[in-house]
């Protein structure tokens, strides 16, 4: 069985904050609210568009009825989809790391709480989609992260098994998901979490994708030898 490496998307594979925050502020301003400063908004990212909108409202000391939030959500998705890769770019070293694992025979997958069609669109526009054996989003399965089913089903869809897999993420959600699935987790320290990943109990932390191969080899030398 080929080993599998599964990546979170926003804040892990791709630096998407600029486009996510820009879209949030467009939607808030349509509601007559203030834009959220970039530095304040980045830690709000990573739990899906609806949560981001709710946090943007809270930052304004505002609230809206559920029906209005539903409409804001629809507007957010439409605007974001049309502007999905204006400022978003893979983090440094991502492409080389994907190439390194693919060359060793690993299956590559994405497990994100971004909607699946947006994940496919983003990775497609960045020229990365074809590198992955599975790209699964918040609406792909009946459960989303931190439910471990989202991760284990992503691995299954990629053609792998949970017992021969590694997770890479940037947040508590990713770390909790991997732990619940009993899968080792590498955390990147350049993502969007408001809490330093070193405090969240990952198996290992890296600061650049140049270090990912060594980190995986350290965590699962048995899988790396087979890969």
Provide CB contacts within 8 A for 41, sequence distance 6+.
17, 21, 24, 25, 56, 59
The closest alpha carbon to 81, from 40, 39, 114, 50, belongs to 114
Catalytic option among 8, 133, 176, 203 = 8
Q: CB atoms < 10 A from the CB of 42, how many?
A: 19
139 is catalytic: no
- Looking at the chain, list the stretches that DSSP marks H as alpha helix, in order from N- to C-terminal side: 17-30, 38-41, 49-59, 66-82, 94-103, 116-125, 148-158, 172-180, 212-219, 221-226
- Interior CA angle at 117 toward 56 and 149, to 5°? 85
Which one-letter DSSP state was computed for residue 209?
A: G
Q: How far apart are CA 31 and CA 65, in angstroms?
A: 13
Residues designated catalytic: 8
């Amino acid at each position: 069985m080929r080993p599998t490496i599964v990546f979170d998307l926003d804040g892990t594979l791709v630096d998407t904050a600029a486009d996510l925050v820009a879209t949030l502020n467009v939607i808030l301003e349509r509601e007559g609210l203030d834009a959220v400063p970039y530095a304040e908004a980045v830690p709000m990212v990573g739990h899906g568009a609806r949560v981001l909108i709710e946090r943007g409202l809270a930052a304004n000391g505002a609230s809206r009825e559920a029906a209005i939030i539903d409409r804001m959500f629809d507007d957010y998705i439409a605007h974001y989809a049309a502007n999905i890769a204006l400022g978003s770019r893979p983090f440094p070293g991502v492409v080389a790391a994907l190439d390194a694992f693919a060359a060793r025979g690993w299956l590559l997958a994405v497990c994100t709480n971004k909607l699946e069609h947006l994940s496919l669109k983003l990775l497609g526009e960045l020229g990365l989609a074809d590198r992955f054996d599975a790209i699964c989003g918040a609406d792909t399965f009946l459960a989303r992260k931190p439910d471990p089913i989202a991760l284990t089903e992503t691995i299954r869809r990629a053609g792998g098994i949970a017992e021969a897999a590694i997770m890479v993420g940037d947040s508590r959600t990713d770390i909790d998901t991997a732990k619940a699935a009993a899968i080792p987790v590498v955390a990147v320290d350049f993502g969007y979490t408001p809490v330093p990943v070193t405090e969240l109990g990952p198996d290992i932390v890296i600061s650049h994708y140049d270090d990912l191969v060594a980190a995986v080899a350290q965590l699962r030398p048995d899988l790396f030898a087979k890969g």
